[in-house]
Chain A
Amino acid sequence: MRRLALIALPYLWLLVLFLVPFLIVVKISLSDQALAIPPYTPTLDLSAGWQGIRDWASGLDLENYWFLTDDPLYWKAYLSSLRIAVLSTLLTLMVGYPIAYGMARAPDHWRPTLMMLVILPFWTSFLIRVYSWKAILSQEGLLNQFLLWLGVIHEPLTILNTNTAVYIGIVYTYLPFMILPIYAALEKLDQSLLEAAEDLGCSRLSAFWLITVPLSKQGIIAGCFLVFIPAMGEFVIPALLGGSRTLMIGKVLWEEFFSNRDWPVASAVAVVLLMILIVPIILFQRNEQRNREAEG
Chain B
Amino acid sequence: MRRLSWFNLTSLTLGLAFLYLPMVILVIYSFNGGKLVTVWAGFSTKWYGALFHDKAFLKAAWITLKVAVISSTVATLLGTMAALVLVRAGRFFGRTLFSGMIYAPLVMPDVITGLALLLLFIAIGLDRGVFTIILAHITFSMCFVSVVVASRLQSFDRSLEEAALDLGCTPLDAFRSVTLPIIAPAVISGWLLAFTLSLDDLVISSFTSGPSSTTLPIKIFSAVRLGVNPEINALSTIMIAIVSTGVITASLLSKRSIARRAREEQEAFAS
Q: Write the residues of chain A forming the contact surface with B, with a CB cutoff of 8 angstroms.
A: 2-3, 6-7, 9-11, 13-15, 17-22, 24-25, 28, 38, 95-96, 98-99, 101-103, 105-108, 112, 114, 116-121, 123-129, 131-136, 138, 140-142, 145, 172, 175-176, 179, 225-226, 229-230, 232-236, 239-240, 250, 253-254, 257-258, 263, 266-267, 270, 273-274, 277, 280-282, 284-285, 288-289, 292, 295-296
Q: Does any Cβ of A come within 8 Å of B87's Cβ?
A: yes
User: How many residues on chain B are close to A (CB under 8 Å)?
Assistant: 94
B11 touches A250 (CB 8 A): no
CB proximity of A181 to chain B, nearest CB, Å: 12
> B116: which of A2, A13, A21, A296 is its contact (CB, 8 Å)?
A21
B116 touches A25 (CB 8 A): yes
Q: What 3 pairs between A and B have smallest CB-CB spacing?
A: A233-B109, A21-B116, A99-B15
B142 touches A10 (CB 8 A): yes
Measured between beta carbons, the chain B residues less than 8 angstroms from A114 are: 12
CB proximity of A85 to chain B, nearest CB, Å: 10
Report if A95-B15 is in contact (Cβ < 8 Å); known contacts: A123-B196, A124-B23, A284-B107.
yes
- In the assembly, what is the distance between CA of A123 and CA of B240, in Å? 9
Contact with A along B162-198 (1 / 0, CB 8 A): 0000000001000000000000000000001000100
Report if A135-B37 is in contact (Cβ < 8 Å); known contacts: A99-B11, A295-B155.
yes
Q: Does any Cβ of A come within 8 Å of B209's Cβ?
A: no
> A126: which of B108, B200, B255 is its contact (CB, 8 Å)?
B200
> Which residues of chain B from 105 to 138 have any CB-CB distance to chain A below 8 Å in the complex?
105-112, 115-117, 119-120, 122-123, 135-136, 138
- In the assembly, what is the distance between CA of A172 and CA of B79, in Å? 29
- In the assembly, what is the distance between CA of A131 and CA of B147, in Å? 29
Q: Write the residues of chain B forming the contact surface with A, with a CB cutoff of 8 angstroms.
A: 1-5, 7-9, 11-12, 15-16, 18-20, 22-23, 25-26, 29, 37-39, 78-79, 81-82, 84-85, 87, 89, 92, 94, 97-112, 115-117, 119-120, 122-123, 135-136, 138-139, 142, 146-147, 150-151, 154-155, 171, 192, 196, 199-200, 202-203, 206-207, 217, 220-221, 224-225, 227-228, 232, 236, 239-240, 243-244, 246-248, 251, 255
A250 touches B111 (CB 8 A): yes
- In the assembly, what is the distance between CA of A9 and CA of B77, in Å? 10
Measured between beta carbons, the chain B residues less than 8 angstroms from A19 are: 97, 101
B104 touches A285 (CB 8 A): yes
B150 touches A239 (CB 8 A): no
A24 touches B120 (CB 8 A): yes
A138 touches B109 (CB 8 A): no
